[in-house]
Structure 1
């Protein structure tokens, strides 16, 4: 056996043992509630606060770009956090601890944005701390949550279970954006803090309640026996897997494309179309609602009930990326198209396309997660996504500001960002055709009894 194979065998020997029982569908939905809680806080910090800084305070788009980049850059720690989760006896403390840090970070970030109206310098400094905490909380809670799902759910249930989690997270995005949009009108800094604090507290309590007793008697990791493997050795083992490495590249490019519009979509609606903060937040809710529907459509047709061709994960990722590119081109031409197509329709179409490719990517991720080093694998892909989001969010705002300066037009500046994203989605579609995934496994679900077992 060669050196790499020997190292792999030694590492496998120290992998955590699993108990026989897996999570029921009801328990999977409870995990989905944790994702809903995550999404509720994230949508306020990455969308609404960004809109306030750019439109209400007339600050450069690069400022929220830098802050959100901090939030994503911190998540480069995801592989290390996932490794720590792998080595421990339980993942629940990692999730609850991460949710607590996330909630504190969300309130801190909102307070910082309110402070900017009085002191820009102190406000920016406090915002940097807030977004750092948001990133740390998301990394700890999100990575451990996905690792729990992959390690405690039977193989044939993993992909649909992951889709359920993401659908419920998008529900958190959509519901929070819609409700917060109504509560934030008319805007005031104190109203912003109150709404964010209320959402953060509710999300933390929801996550804690959802996790009670989940790991008890299920397939949870137990303490390691023998020497504890080094993090660097575990990471090298995961990176040596060609399928995992290629999927990491796909995640990076597709998420770079996906994230470049995150920080400009709400300001775009405000500057180019004159929408209020409540209206632009509601538009974000409509986009996330479209994403939710796109995920559900992919899950239904990807199940194989309508033929094997429609169940191809590669096909859904390929077509979803191309459809996302087309929707972004339409957004770049939104001012010219508004007589024929409403802005609301374009936001929903972008969400539908994003949801279809994202659901297929999530299902693929669960196929590739493997039985060992689950937390580290999830952490690697989470880190790729985080780096892409940091570069994409900041890069989108930089391109927007530079294009505005060069072209002298807000409309053309936003169009430049959308067209650049479309090009990246085309590249992602090509990479998707080479991924080592095929289709969702058969659930072999029988009757109502199986539905809840």
Structure 2
């Protein structure tokens, strides 16, 4: 029995790999082809790629449906598999769009918007329900460690996918692009199906949770369980602040290295590798032992504090002009981001309950998307504005690092006010499911 459970837990990771693979094709390949090969305006391509983020609020409603409206008696598996199918269809549609050179027309705008909307809908449905399934399957510290391990699997899927797709499309050919995209779409569907099938067990707690989830209309749940809960508002703000604070510089480190420290193109390109290794190492360590030793709250605070110190260090390094220290700080930045991310993921999954797992995962997913979008936008605007006003690249990027440090201080303060056990969803769980679990 223990062997079967371990095997099922391992199977779940294949969805994370599939999810990472889908992001590698869309985010790492199609954007380059649309701009460099097809000559489409960067603004139009950016709009297309923003669509999955713009429709992310649908995750909340999709999560509500998954919580309360089982399909074939299952709350999660069918939604994950259908979501993977929609991801695949979206990938095929977007690749066909990218494989056919065309001028910017109303038809291109419409077809591109619909293709990316299809892809985004599938991503939001499948990933949100998958996270709810992970929440359902694990308890206690196993739950917080599991969500971290599966996030590492997503990163590995992205890396492996980028390598495979890069090799297959070394020389661009429209027919080959469609062939590779179709293969990726099929692989995503098969991997997700293999991961999801047979993961849910029927019991009285699950049935009662589904009944309770659909008792309240969607609008009432939003009002009473989400918007009216101070703990939900605190965590939502914390997630946004943490993402802005750790990722606003995401696309701006390389220009900082070039403009302030005089680094070459090759050196700045490798910065992403240093950062990524730091993230991967810290998340692996978090899943293996740090969450168990420290608890997710101390882990998140450690990551936030480390990130604040790194941003201060980046400013000092810019004054010193020391490239070696800068590279080391980028690696430490990755470690801080990974620790904060692992702690935040653990906090998020600790807030979920069997009744509201899908819906609450949707809420946190929206916070994630908002944090990413606002962070990227704010970072670029701030750097451009300060550089335009002062004509000094160091001042411009230092203002960004200072802003991130301040936002992370806000996030650090918010962690002191967080208590999952007092949230309305947890109170609801205690009142309704405690007796059922004891009798089951």
TM-score range relative to shorter protein: 0.7 to 0.9
- Counterparts of 1:88 and 1:58, CA distance in 2: 45
1:427 aligns with 2:415: no
Kindly provide the CA deviation profile for residues 257-305 of structure 1, in whole angstroms up to 9, marking residues without a partner as x.
Answer: 34434555688899986658xx95x865664443221112223443445
Moved more, 91-100 or 77-86: 91-100
- Contact 2:212 2:355 (8 Å CA) reproduced: no
Q: 1:96 to 1:63 in 2, by over 3 A?
A: same
- Give the C-alpha shift of residue 137 in structure 1: 1.6
- 1:349 is aligned, of 313, 329, 332, to 332
**Contact map agreement 1:151 1:220 (CA 8 A) in 2:** no
Q: Does 1:234 align with 2:218?
A: no
TM-score for the superposition, normalised by structure 2: 0.75
The question of 1:248 aligning with 2:236 is answered: yes
CA contact (8 A) 1:33 1:206 kept: yes
Distance in structure 1 (CA, Å) of the matches to 2:104 and 2:111: 10
Q: State yes or no: 1:375 paired with 2:363.
A: no
1:188/1:269 CA distance change after superposition, 3 Å = farther
Q: What is the TM-score normalised by the length of structure 1?
A: 0.73
> Which residue is 1:81 aligned to?
62
- Cα contact 1:286–1:347 (8 A) shared by 2: yes
Once structures 1 and 2 are overlaid, which stretch shifts more, 240-249 or 118-127? 118-127
CA distance in 1, matches of 2:319, 2:90: 37
Superposition deviation, residue 112 in structure 1: 4.4
Alignment: residue pair count:
407
Where do residues 33-432 of structure 1 align in structure 2 (5 Å cutoff)? 33-50=14-31, 65-89=46-70, 90=74, 91-112=76-97, 118-121=102-105, 126-185=111-170, 195-217=180-202, 221-222=206-207, 224=211, 228-239=215-226, 240-262=228-250, 275=265, 280=269, 284=272, 287-305=275-293, 311-327=294-310, 339-341=323-325, 347-399=330-382, 420-432=403-415
> Residue deviations 1:1-35, cap 9 Å, x none?
xxxxxxxxxxxxxxxxxxxx9x9333222222212
Query: Deviation of residue 165 (structure 1)?
Result: 1.6
The structure in which a higher percent of residues are helix is 2
- Native 8 Å contact 2:67 2:213 kept in 1: no
The structure 1 residue matched to 2:13, chosen from 21, 32, 42, is 32
Tell me, in whole angstroms, the C-alpha distance in 2 between the residues paired with 1:176 and 1:403. Answer: 38
Q: CA deviation at 1:162?
A: 1.4
User: What is the alpha-carbon distance in structure 1 between the residues aligned to residue 33 and residue 322 of structure 2?
Assistant: 25
Q: What SS does the corresponding residue of 1:435 show, helix, strand or coil? A: coil
Structure 1 stretch 37-46 or stretch 375-384: which is displaced more? Answer: 37-46
| Contact 1:69/1:393, CA 8 A, preserved across alignment | no
Residue 161 of structure 1 deviates from its aligned partner by 1.8
- SS state at 2:156 partner: helix
In structure 1, what is the Cα distance between the partners aligned to 2:412 and 2:217? 36
Structure 2: gaps (5+ residues)? 422-440
Tell me the SS of whatever aligns to 1:370. coil
Q: Deviations over 1:151-178 (max 9, x none)?
A: 2333452112212221211222233334
Gaps of 5+ in 1: 1-20, 306-310, 439-453
Q: For residues 36 and 321 of structure 2, what CA distance do their matches in structure 1 show? A: 24
d(CA) in 2 for partners of 1:195 and 1:268? 36
RMSD value, Cα: 4.1
Once the two structures are superposed, what CA deviation does each residue of 1:78-100 show, in whole Å capped at 9, x if it has no partner? 11111000112221121112122
